[in-house]
Amino acid sequence: EKRGLRESRLLENLNKMVQEANEQMLPTSLEEMSQKLSDISKRLEAANHMAERVQQRELEAQQNTQLQANMEKLKEDWAEFLKEQQRLKEEVDEEHTKAVGELSTRFSEKKKDLAQFSL
């Protein structure tokens, strides 16, 4: 919407410049006509430069918005990753505790068996 308004104003300014040029361009001499065309060309170049600057600012604003959205997405993904890592760590810790318990039980049984054979 802002872009449309800016472009509309720019086009209105260009139209006004063309109308002024048409009103002032009653060619009395080739030299005068050449000077007026040069002035009009400079004004058009300035208007073109202004339009390019407006477009550049809009592009930068759009890129900043996209960058912020990407950063938010990355933060969300990172938080999800950390949650998943915590869940996996808890699973591994639980499995480790179970395995240590089973090994302790087996070791105790083997120790008893060994004690029986030693007698």
- In angstroms, how far is CA 59 from the centroid of its own chain? 11
CA distances in angstroms from 86 to 74, 82, 89, 91, 95, listed in the order given: 18, 6, 5, 9, 14
What whole-number distance in Å separates Cα of residue 63 and Cα of residue 70? 10
Identify which has the larger pLDDT, 69 or 29.
69
Global pTM reads 0.45
10-32 tens-digit pLDDT: 888 888 888 887 776 655 567 77
pLDDT at 63 over 80: yes
